Structure 1
């Protein structure tokens, strides 16, 4: 790849990506541009600038993408009630298309020939980054060092740092977490360590964002969430930006022991993976959004959304956010949210999110029809007989033909 003169690297400032900077410079004899995204990982990102400068990097991008992340990626996904394999709330998956988008934008701004990332050859992230990059810039070249080099252990990376005089924070003797962690405003994930044994439960001191349900307050917390077109726009009457909504819900959810998940999932590359996740705000949003939809969505629209949701979630998990099929489904999902407006009241108590009430000017709930009391002729119960017989017709015909069901 002698034609590569400049590469944009997704750069965290940690051990792996610091090694990648030098490796790219030496292996490809190219200029490296670093890009560090603040998507709410809870760590200061500005120190990455000094680290990149120490490695000879001249063009350094450090971008606050928190509002864009929640507004344009998390909230649209929440409108679909997306869960992968019925449980995973897609906290890592949904961040990758934004990072891929910004990598390509920076490549265009700087005239770079390629992008690079620190995802391993065993995981899903390499797929997500690269599918997004190719969708947005078909001719871009991608360099994935973990698929090329022979630095396959922490020890070999540290030796590389020592040999090449790379300053890395982890070179000291501070205890390193045994887990591989990834954090953003939606969640924090944990893999590796004792979690590689699916029978072994996670250690309590692993969790960063939440207390255990047992340690949560003995008094419930009540909150009210205002929805407009399927998105939360206010908490307890206070108008908030998308990122601030998620930050607040993470805080109140974590304080009440909400949002812990322990999953074994099927990676797109073919293996099963065990991971633990903290998604307090996302857990609250999904529960509240379903409550709001229960009041405002037509039955068949709601059921069709539920039927499409696993496919939509799979698209995000597998890295197809920028695909035409995801965009098509998003258009339908967003159209379904036009009347998802109103207020949901929740009780948060020891790991539980309990719906206490919901109201909407766009409600399809008609008390005069649904009541168990006198309905003043709003519903003729005798009509149900013909409805049942018509729906039973095909089964009665089959039974008359001797087709046994038992």
Structure 2
């Protein structure tokens, strides 16, 4: 501990990182604490952070705007991959952590810091995501994770510590949910949600939108335009990725879209229950998948679905900065060359309903698929195809008959 003179703290201003500053000062010989808050689109949560960090013992606070990089270099590549963890989780926290970890290293080097500190618990996934990113860019950097060593054993203990050290916190024991918010999603964990038998009280916890019951009785139609798998316009209006995601969050949230109640398998081995709000992300995933159905050939589409499962595991497990993730992204990018077109959707009370899709690269031919009369396909050809395709089944059945006589 005596060797630690200056540390970089991943700082959100939440309960964990708020009390870590005085705890570090007490336990690391009054070391200098440089706080770093990553702006990944969490909005109002950043207001007043600098004053709070300084008052609780930090020497300074960096507020790093990473939102554009987050959307363009982490979110959109994952959407293009179609990566969804365990069929429901759209990876909102997962792909933000590597980006933040990378920036922590950059500031640690700039500040000549001795260590990087994070407030992740020893039970969670984020400790892995942060530390793998740090190892990728500063393999010899010391890492301090107070949750693994301090005397505090629960969030109630943390609140007691905050009160004893006059650390302001914007929650009570009754509203002490563990939350993570960025431009892509908002997660809720803890309290009554720890029991999967409990139905979430959406009217109490939702922040990005409303429950499906409270959504309008009239549907909302939108059209998303993609170029090479990347969303570029909403309802015909070109816009950058950050603006587009924000707009879709507003529209989706208002229509009760994007709620997921999940019991997921954490990397560290336990199951956890979380409720996620991802309104804009849910719309983007759906629209992109619809467009791929007419732009990708069968074999590519099916193989890409297998890749998506592995890609989701890699992102969830914090392995963004790895050769395999880069290789999979290269494969995904090659599949997206023709994923260009428009997708029309109907949003209604939590549902995302297909309302039309077009692409200049479509592989769908009405002439070939028609149930009406056509001159492009001789239906008699199918008999020979079925005979060859079914030959292994027929041979086995014939031989089984002979053996059973």
Q: Distance in 1 between matches of 2:20 and 2:162?
A: 10
Q: 1:162 to 1:219 in 2, by over 3 A?
A: closer
For 2:93 and 2:49, the matched residues in 1 are separated by 21
State the partner residue of 1:379.
377
Is 2:317 the partner of 1:312?
Answer: no
Name the structure 2 match of 1:396.
Answer: 394
Deviations 1:328-353 (A, max 9, x none): 11110111111100100111111110
> For residues 389 and 24 of structure 1, do their structure 2 counterparts lie closer, same or farther at Cα, with a shift above 3 Å needed?
same
What whole-Å deviation, never above 9, does each CA across 1:73-116 have from its counterpart, x for those lacking one? 11111011111111111111121111111111111221222211
Q: How far 1:284 sits from its partner (Å)?
A: 0.5
Separation in 1, partners of 2:317, 2:150: 25
Kindly report which structure 2 residues correspond to 1:284-363, keeping only aligned pairs within 5 A, or say none. 284-363=283-362
Q: In terms of mean alpha carbon deviation, does 73-82 or 7-16 score higher?
A: 7-16
Taking structure 1 as the reference length, what is the TM-score of the superposition? 0.94
Contact 1:191 1:274 in 2 (8 A): yes
Kindly provide the CA deviation profile for residues 290-338 of structure 1, in whole angstroms up to 9, marking residues without a partner as x. 1110111111111001112111111111111112111111110111111
Cα distance in 1 for partners of 2:211, 2:232 equals 28
Please give the alpha-carbon distance, in whole angstroms, between the structure 1 residues aligned to 2:385 and 2:170: 70
- Quick one: structure 1 residues 119 and 221, their matched pair in 2 at CA, closer, same or farther if it must change by over 3 Å? same
CA distance in 1, matches of 2:340, 2:85: 26
Q: Distance in 1 between matches of 2:254 and 2:163?
A: 42
Q: Deviations over 1:358-389 (max 9, x none)?
A: 1111111122222222322x223222222222
Any gaps of 5 or more consecutive residues in structure 2? none
Q: 1: distance between equivalents of 2:112 and 2:394?
A: 70
Runs of 4+ in 1 over 4 A off after TM superposition: none
2:153 is aligned to 152
Q: Distance in 2 between matches of 1:116 and 1:76?
A: 28
- Map residues 151-170 of structure 1 onto 2, 5 A cutoff: 151-161=152-162, 163=164, 165-170=165-170
Aligned-partner Cα distance in 1 for 2:113–2:122: 23
State the SS of the aligned residue for 1:402. Answer: helix
User: 115-124 or 200-209: which moved more?
Assistant: 200-209
CA distance in 1, matches of 2:273, 2:142: 32
Equivalent pair of 1:19/1:166 in contact (CA under 8 Å)? no
User: What does residue 241 of structure 2 align with?
Assistant: 242
Instruction: Tell me what 1:48 maps to.
Output: 49
Q: 1:382 to 1:214 in 2, by over 3 A?
A: same
Q: TM-score scaled to structure 2, two decimals?
A: 0.94
Q: In the alignment, what sits opposite 1:105?
A: 106
Give me the whole-angstrom Cα distance separating, in 1, the residues matched to 2:38 and 2:71: 14
Question: Shift of residue 63 of structure 1?
Answer: 1.3
Give structure 1 stretches of 5+ with no counterpart. none
Change (3 A) 1:403 1:106: farther
